[in-house]
Amino acid sequence: MASYLQQADHLLRPRGQALPSLRVLPLLVIVLGGGYGAVMGTYGGLSADRLWQVVYSGTKVPLLLLATFSISLPSFFVVNTLAGLRNDFGKVLSALLATQAGLTVILFSLAPYTILWYLSFDDYGRAILFNGLMFAVASISAQFILLKFYRPLIRQNPLHRLMLVLWLLIYSFVGIQMGWVLRPFIGSPDEPVEFFRENSWGNAYEMVFGIIQRSFGF
């Protein structure tokens, strides 16, 4: 356990150019992402009929992060190859994995705020928006980790700066849509607990805009 904590600390405070152990990074995503997901699933309470939502949500947050990463990576690899940066891709992959793990460390640290929100407000739509805000805070904060690990690559070849922007665009686009497909992460207390919604597919961006409109009465 102490070793994992040291690796998590290294993500937040990189020492030199050394990256954390690649064996540890996916485990941090699974464990800490699952921890935040379990907290997300407690919105409807911890009664016997709602416990499965905690389990489902704890499973789906790591699934969301790892699936988004896996879907985004092949096209990013191809573009890096076309840009003549294939020889650096091992270091790029390590930096991206470190950022994924760092994101979950930050996200898990925000779990107490989610619990406080649930205890203070009972509106389902705003619970969705609040969790979206927590993901946004964690994602934006994780970019500082990505920049720290990417800086040596950018110094070596300025094209990596463009690739970094491209990765953020690809990852964000895929991540939002994957979040919609894998819903519900919170689960409305008025609906039965289920792993997937019956109509999982659709345009995530239209739906998110609709949730914002309904939550604020527009």
Q: Give how many domains the chain has, as a whole number.
A: 1
Q: Which of 111, 96, 104, 114 is nearest to 64 (CA)?
A: 104
Task: List all residues 6 or more positions away from 47 whose beta carbon is below 8 Å from its beta carbon.
Answer: none
pTM for this entry: 0.86
- Residue 59 structure tokens: 């499973």
> Can you tell me the distance from the alpha carbon of 167 to that of 39, in angstroms, rounded to the nearest whole number?
29
* pLDDT at residue 49, as a whole number: 82
pLDDT tens profile 23-62: 788 899 999 999 999 999 999 888 888 899 999 999 999 9
Range of the domain at 28: 2-10+19-215
Mean pLDDT, all residues of the chain: 88
- pLDDT exceeds cutoff 80 at 122: yes
Lowest-confidence range among 8-12, 86-90, 102-106, 136-140? Answer: 8-12
